[in-house]
Structure 1
Amino acid sequence: MRLFAACLLLSGLVACTAANSNVPSADASHAGAPLPFIQDDYARALAEAKAKGIPLFVDVWAPWCHTCRSMKAYVLSDASLARHADRFVWLEVNTDLTSNAAFQEQYPVEFWPTLYVIDPRQEKALLRFAGSATVAQLEKLFEDGERAYKGGITGAEALLARGDALYAEGRSAEAAETLAEALTEAPADWSRRGRAVESLLTAMYGAKQHEDCARKALEELPKTPRSLSWANGALLGMYCVLSLPEDAASGTELREGLEAKVAEALAPPAIDMSADDRSGLYEVRVQAREAAKDAATVKALSAEWLTFLEAEAAKAPNPQARTVFDSHRMLAAMKLETPGRAIPAIEQSEKDLPQDYNPPARLATLYRLEGRLDDALAASERALARVQGARRLSVLSGRADIFVARKDTASAVKTLEEAITFAKTLPASQVSPRMVAGLEKKLTGLQSSAR
């Protein structure tokens, strides 16, 4: 699901992924999947696409991103996708790896996961789709990417392709204008209406047109078939509302309207979506009730959310699929002010996936909240032994919080200084200025308090 804010929040809250060797963990790879993904080698994939005369399909992911892992465990693993293997050259790009910085510089990523279709003849992005998809939606993306590559389309289809390309180039405002035109020109029963609505709202969010985005969601949803695209439209509209200033005059009205749509997406009849997608709807409902300062409903929704996640995790076919739910189980337990409820599951994840830094990084936070500070510090050390790239900053930030809880300000300061120094060694395309600013602000506050 398109859990932009969630992925960004959780990357800072708990940190996550890989090993110090600068190679991806096999636990989260496409190994054994029906599509022959090349791992983290853009040059090779590009050369193959040029040689075969077909476009390049790219899955840009990160091991800390629960939606990325859900896509791998429940969608990209679907055996029915094997019939599409010859349509593209397939590439996965793990953004935790510094070796992928050049790809990110050429094809920027704002949200995880992001799916690209690239024309190898000009190294031009034809399509950039942010978020998850069902198998059926993924197959439509394949069609849209091929159409854009081959050309010759007209009308609303051409406008959709143009909007996709503009968004892929980072021209979000122009993309939004073009996609809105596509929806206006398209017939009422257009088969791509849902996808176009998702893409339009994504572009408006990227262009920071938050109020217009929320209003557009409320305008378009009644004309959109009930589907995952409809649910994502409600969720995107809600994210736009939650991005408005607290004193925005229209904030309450828009929040209530879109919160009703999100609740409707969760209600029967069930929409075909992954458990991770459904979890994202719960999360944004909790955020909406927090914005309304409705503590009682926050608790009630969080309890329902956590019970749902525990049931889904129990049905997961393997440890990799079960860990899809770890970050949201942690978050829901924290909202309930019962962080210990998530600890056994994440301890099991660490046993099952010993090379993955996500479980110990999450445990470090949970143990700290439970007052188990020695355990928190030990978990942080295990995470640091496995983490790499920019995600190391999140682990170090969490480690500083543990030292603060231990009333060891000197060690907290030293840890934050280490994080900031490390940030300066990383490729610019892989470092969030917001994360670095947060580290610097935290350091300044600690230094001031120590004087």
Structure 2
Amino acid sequence: MRPPASPSALVPTLVPVLASALALAACAAEPPPRAPAPQAASAPPAAAASPPPAATAEPVEAQKPLEFIRDDVPRAREKARAEGKALFVDAWAPWCHTCLSMKHHVLTDPSLRPFADRVVFADIDTDRPENAPFLERHEVTVWPTFFVLEPANGEVVGLWRGAASVEELRELLRGSLAAMDSRAAAALPADDPARLLIEAKRAHSAGDHAAAAAAYRRALARGGAGWPRRSEALLGLVSALRRKDAAACADVGRAHVAEVKGAALPADFASVLLSCAAALPDRNAQRAAREAAVARLRAIVADPPAGSSADDRADAWSLLADGLQALGDAEGARAATASKLAVLEQAAREAKAPEAAAAYDYGRAMAYLALGRGEEAVAMLKEREAQMPASYEPPARLAQVLHAMGREEEALAAAERAIGRAYGPRRLRYLKLRAEIQEKLGRRAEQVATLREEVAGYEALPRGLASQSALDDARRRLAEAEKAQRGAKKR
């Protein structure tokens, strides 16, 4: 998983940490620490009241990929109700590299197709206004986030935040269907770890982090060391604590970072630990937490977990670079960034279409910059824009790279192209980038006009897409720019 990166977050320096400041949000929200990844909120397979969907007689290789209802949750929910099926919702965004990796390399796997007998599949672009009602009810701070819902009331029976392997998605669906079939939340004893995990995930989905953390703790206590859902519950716990209590998050993270298992989950757990470490006031505690995360990440990159994708492996290298940089090991961070780039370049070469290769563009561009190879990033992104002329992503990334290289006029032109194609909150992020470029060019009046447009855009967003912290930040930057403009006129 990975937090959404503000375009400007990449500009100030070209150190290795730049290459991964946003990587885990796949993509996460503010602040941009790496977002926690896979977490499944469902009863364990053992609790299933019925077996998982059986494979059809048709060979798996011949089955078609899943079909998704795009950006229409009400229609998908009505279809699920009418057919007596669960509703799976993929909350994603076009700028999220992990989302693209999942769409091109996991969700297309034909072995998932049998679940269509019992599940309606939908996806929503979280920047589109028509999806605001869903996002108002279900918190998304990590991209992608996968929900499994009961169609009648929309209650969460399964939740997974971030990257997942095909097998992990199958387990999410199996467990969610078992929970729905047996009405697990009501039928299981109040202190059953499966029920407590469902309660934790529902609270997490609703943004009630204190209640989520308490339920995760109870689930872990009841489940014990051998509980099959222990790793996802641990990740859920530190993710909930990160929002409220960095010290508790760091304590839990250090105690359990070595035991977490899964495809992307171990690296995501380490990323949350790094994020919490950065928020600690005590330098010694900071260092201890970072060293624990780095030790785990070294083990992960040396022996990647089964089922991890190229995106997962690159994120682990990127996180390791972040941790090493924070510990003062610039040389080690640079080496980790070079290893990340090697993984992504190979994956891009093996991609069967430009759209699939584009999943790796962001990581490659940031790695090129960090390694002092900005011209390669520029060439790559110009080629991608020619291949995908309707997408806002290539020109937006190109603007970031050119801005970081000090080529402001070119950056401004690229930013204008991205703004013209983008929509929703992402377009407002690109307005922020344009304002920064205009400031560098000394175009104060244009900068102020852009910032006013950004503020108005945030004020007009529907609930569900709106972010008070983003609006407050935009207003602060506008006030500073207006003050600077007045000062310049007096001189």
- Once residues 115 and 11 of structure 1 are traced to their aligned partners in structure 2, the CA distance between those partners, rounded to angstroms, is 28
Structure 1, unpaired ranges of 5+:
16-31
Give, as a single letter, the amino acid of the residue that structure 2 aligns with 1:210.
Answer: A
Alignment of 1:96 with 2:127, yes or no, is yes
Of 134-143 and 362-371, the range deviating more from structure 2: 362-371
Please state if 1:399 is matched with 2:434: yes
1:118 deviates by 1.4
* Aligned mate of 1:129, from 157, 160, 163: 160
1:238 aligned to 2:237?
Answer: no
Match of 1:117 among 148, 155, 171: 148
| Identity across the alignment (%) | 33
Q: Is the 8 A contact 2:313 2:340 kept in 1?
A: no
Matches within 5 A, 1:24-423: 34-150=65-181, 151=183, 152-153=187-188, 155-186=192-223, 188-205=225-242, 207-225=243-261, 227-242=263-278, 244-268=279-303, 271-423=306-458
Aligned partners of 1:224, 1:377: CA distance in 2, in Å? 44
Tell me which residue corresponds to 1:18. none
> Please, which moves more after superposition, 248-257 or 225-234?
225-234
Contact 1:56 1:118 in 2 (8 A): yes
Tell me how many residue pairs correspond in the alignment.
430
Question: Counterparts of 1:337 and 1:284 in 2: how far apart (Å)?
Answer: 19
- Note the C-alpha offset of 1:245: 3.4
The superposition leaves residues 97-123 of structure 1 with CA deviations (integer Å, 9 ceiling, x where unpaired) of 111111211222222111111112222
| Distance in 2 between residues matched to 1:337 and 1:441, nearest whole Å | 33
Mean Cα deviation higher: 117-126 or 229-238: 229-238
User: Which segment is superposed worse, 148-157 or 352-361?
Assistant: 148-157
Q: For residues 369 and 343 of structure 1, what CA distance do their matches in structure 2 show?
A: 11
Question: 1:404 is aligned with what amino acid?
Answer: E
Distance apart, 1:171 and its partner CA: 2.2
Secondary structure (helix, strand or coil) at the match of 1:170 reads coil
- Secondary structure, aligned partner of 2:424: coil
Distance verdict in 2 for CA 1:135–1:226, change over 3 Å: closer
Call closer, same or farther: CA 1:226–1:113 in 2, change over 3 Å.
Answer: closer
The separation in 2 between residues aligned to 1:203 and 1:120, in whole angstroms, is 26
Deviates more, 1:264-273 or 1:389-398: 264-273
1:292 & 1:93 partners in 2: Cα distance? 39
Asked if 1 retains the 8 angstrom alpha-carbon contact of 2:7 and 2:429, the reply is no
Contact 2:297–2:320 (8 Å) recurs in 1: yes
Distance, in Å, in 2 between the alignment partners of 1:313 and 1:323 is 8
3-state SS in 2 of match to 1:89 = strand
Higher deviation after alignment, 257-266 or 213-222:
213-222
**Over residues 184-230 of structure 1, what are the superposed CA-to-partner deviations in whole Å (9 max), with x where a residue is unaligned?**
3225443333333333333333x423222232233234444465433
Contact 2:7 2:433 in 1 (8 A): no
Which stretch has the larger CA shift, 312-321 or 57-66? 312-321
Contact 2:257 2:293 in 1 (8 A): no
Within the candidate set 461, 466, 470, 1:435 is matched to 470
Partners of 1:33 and 1:59 lie apart in 2 by 19
TM-score relative to the length of structure 2: 0.81
Residue by residue, what CA displacement relative to the aligned partner does 1:10-61 show, whole Å, maximum 9, x if unpaired?
596599xxxxxxxxxxxxxxxx972221111111111111112222111001
Question: In 1, Cα distance between the equivalents of 2:205 and 2:481?
Answer: 41
- From the superposition, tell whether residues 223 and 110 of structure 1 become closer, same or farther in structure 2 (CA, over 3 Å): closer
Q: Which amino acid aligns with 1:202?
A: S
Structure 1 residues 352 and 246: alpha-carbon distance in aligned structure 2, compared to 1, 3 A threshold: farther
Q: Secondary structure at the match of 2:457?
A: helix
Shift of 1:270: 5.1
Q: Which residue of 1 aligns with 2:17?
A: none
Q: What is the distance in 2 between the residues matched to 1:137 and 1:326? A: 25
CA RMSD of aligned residues (A): 2.4
Contact 1:33 1:76 in 2 (8 A): no
Which residue identity lines up with residue 250 of structure 2 in the other structure? A
- AA partner of residue 82 (structure 2): A
* CA distance in 1: counterparts of 2:64 and 2:478, whole angstroms: 44
Cα distance in 2, alignment partners of residues 224 and 417 from structure 1? 46
Q: Distance in 2 between matches of 1:63 and 1:33?
A: 23
Question: For residue 483 of structure 2, what is the aligned residue in structure 1?
Answer: 448
1:336 Cα deviation from its structure 2 partner: 2.9
Q: Give me the whole-angstrom Cα distance separating, in 1, the residues matched to 2:474 and 2:9.
A: 10
Whole-Å Cα distance in 1 between the matches of residues 470 and 9 of structure 2?
A: 8
Question: What is the TM-score with the length of structure 1 in the denominator?
Answer: 0.88
Q: Distance in 2 between matches of 1:369 and 1:234?
A: 28
Instruction: Give the drift of 1:287.
Output: 2.2
Q: What is the CA-CA distance between 1:82 and the residue it aligns to?
A: 0.8
The answer to whether the 8 A contact 2:125-2:131 is kept is: yes
Instruction: Kindly state the Cα deviation for residue 163 of structure 1 after the two structures are TM-superposed.
Output: 2.0
1:12–1:394: 8 Å Cα contact kept in structure 2? Answer: no
Structure 1: how far apart are the matches of 2:400 and 2:119? Answer: 41
Q: CA deviation at 1:75?
A: 0.6
Q: Is the 8 A contact 2:69 2:121 kept in 1?
A: yes
User: Is contact 2:77-2:87 (8 Å) kept?
Assistant: yes
- Structure 1: distance between partners of 2:419 and 2:347: 29
Q: Is the 8 A contact 1:298 1:335 kept in 2?
A: no
Structure 2 segments unaligned to the other structure (5+ residues)? 12-21, 23-62
- Residues 134 and 464, structure 2, Cα contact 8 Å, conserved in 1: no
Sort the Cα spacing of 1:253 and 1:428 in 2 relative to 1 into closer, same or farther, 3 A.
same
Q: Does the CA contact (< 8 Å) of 2:415 and 2:434 recur in 1?
A: yes
Q: Is the 8 A contact 1:126 1:149 kept in 2?
A: yes
**Contact 2:253/2:273 (<8 A) preserved:** yes
